[in-house]
Amino acid sequence: MERRTVIKTLAASLLASAVLAGPAVAEDVIKIGASAPKTGPLAGGAAVTYWPAVQLWVHDVNERGGIDVGGTKMKVELIEYDDRTSNEEAIKNVQRMATVDKVDFIVPPYGTGINLAVAPLIAKNGYPHIAVTAVADGVDDFASRWPNSFWTLGTSEGMASSLVDLLKDMREAGQINDKVAVVNVADAFGIELANTGKPALKEAGFDIVYETSYPLQQQDFAPIISAAKNAGPDTFIAFSYPGDTFGLTKQAAIADLPVKAYYVGVATAFPAFAGANGAAANGVMGVGGVNAESPAYQDFAKRQEEVTGVAPDYWASPVQYASLEVLEQAITAVGSLDKAAVIEQLKSGTFETIMGEWTFDNNVIRKFWTVGQWQDGVFHGIASTGVGGETAPILKSGWN
């Protein structure tokens, strides 16, 4: 009986020690939740721009021993979910991460519409929301409505106005005429850019000779390109998402669309765009850009491909990584995982990133790339809202 009592006492002591040690071990890991498309229409874009940059950042943090939190190095555990390019699924995923997984921080999703859909829930649970792959007007209103939200990639007004200014300069130089065709995907991104871009074009004296919108899962772009070609524009503009960016361009090459300025949206900056179009990519303009000659970008691109096997794009990939650098620096600055304190640090701090120095102005990054262009196999930033390092544009000269 005495021996059994000793064994029971020892077992109880060991169990108590394990229970007490449990939280201490758990505290050495920072749980980061991420929900974005792995299936559905936006999965291809997320596979280039979102997931590899997130995975590289987790790798880099853990390689150097973790994030410094009050003098203690804490490694990152990434919890991933597929939102299937569905607002409803994304909301479910965020709810699960907040209440079941109890993650410490959340990497916001991929896509403008999905970011806006989950924003109220992320705010309700008190997480910082550093949106990257979301281009929308009203970001100042969003930041006021959700003070935990931060907007990094740009605004529809900034993107559209900068594009129009670039086209005005080309027209004044005698490179293009006034005739423009404008099409857009019927999703938040495309609708907002079209609603901003078309009035800006008209105000600048351009003649919109053809315009239309199309659904997110559009497959056949021949009718759109054919109608645009018949209208005889010098400039073709598509505020498009990845699948349509590829589809429209393929059809433009088949139809030999005779324009001098050709602009498409998300995924123009993807390396796969140049791979799919070969020499026909030369001169194609697209949303976003980067200073491709920047040593910081080149180092990032090299390391991402080495670690993940996926080359980054020339626009949002480095911004996605930079947003996580900012989160890490904010956590270290406050010395804790307190979400409210991190949010306040994001509002007031200055951060060093691979995209340069970032300081949020009322929760918004005001200097961003707006237009890029493929020139001899590299997608160079050719217009921005004051970033600096722009390359001069060239005319689109045929498709062969």
Helices (H), the chain: 2-26, 43-49, 51-63, 87-99, 112-124, 139-145, 156-172, 188-203, 222-231, 242-255, 271-277, 295-308, 316-334, 339-348
Q: Which DSSP symbol is given to 40?
A: S
296-300: Cβ within 8 A, 24+ apart:
296/354, 296/355, 296/356, 297/354, 299/354, 300/56, 300/354
Structural domains of the chain, with CATH: 11-155+293-367 (3.40.50.2300), 156-292+370-384 (3.40.50.2300)
Q: What are the respective helix, strand and coil percentages of the chain, to the nearest 5?
A: 45, 20, 30
Confidence of residue 16 (pLDDT cuts 50, 70, 90): very low
Q: For the segment 377-396, what is each residue's pLDDT rounded down to a tens digit?
A: 999 999 999 999 999 999 99
**The pLDDT value given to residue 400:** 81
**The pLDDT value given to residue 48:** 94
Mean pLDDT computed over 302-315: 97
Mean pLDDT computed over 69-91: 98
pLDDT at 10 over 80: no
Average pLDDT taken over every residue of the chain: 92
What is the C-alpha to C-alpha distance for residues 324 and 50, in angstroms, rounded to an integer? 11
What is the C-alpha to C-alpha distance for residues 163 and 264, in angstroms, rounded to an integer? 11
Q: Between 181 and 28, whose confidence is greater? A: 181
Q: For the segment 196-228, what is each residue's pLDDT rounded down to a tens digit?
A: 999 999 999 999 999 999 998 899 999 999 999
Residues of the chain above pLDDT 70, percent? 93
Can you tell me which residue has the tokens 């409505």? 145
Closest residue by Cα to residue 183 from 198, 166, 161: 198
pLDDT at 5 over 60: no
**The pLDDT value given to residue 217:** 85
**The pLDDT value given to residue 188:** 85
Q: Do β-strands 29-36 and 67-69 pair in parallel, antiparallel, or remain unpaired?
A: unpaired
What is the C-alpha to C-alpha distance for residues 282 and 178, in angstroms, rounded to an integer? 22
**The pLDDT value given to residue 59:** 98
- Bridge partners (DSSP) of residue 181 are 210, 236
Residues of the chain above pLDDT 90, percent? 88
Please work out, in degrees rounded to the nearest 5, the angle formed at the alpha carbon of residue 134 by the alpha carbons of 191 and 30: 155
User: Coil, strand or helix: which one is 289?
Assistant: coil
**The pLDDT value given to residue 343:** 98
What is the C-alpha to C-alpha distance for residues 199 and 307, in angstroms, rounded to an integer? 44
**The pLDDT value given to residue 135:** 85
**The pLDDT value given to residue 20:** 40
CA distances, 158 to each of 286, 288, 389 (Å): 14, 11, 18
**The pLDDT value given to residue 11:** 43
Q: For the segment 138-150, what is each residue's pLDDT rounded down to a tens digit?
A: 899 999 999 999 9
What is the C-alpha to C-alpha distance for residues 348 and 255, in angstroms, rounded to an integer? 52
User: Which region among 14-28, 100-114, 317-331 has the lowest average model confidence (pLDDT)?
Assistant: 14-28
What is the C-alpha to C-alpha distance for residues 35 and 240, in angstroms, rounded to an integer? 22
**The pLDDT value given to residue 27:** 54
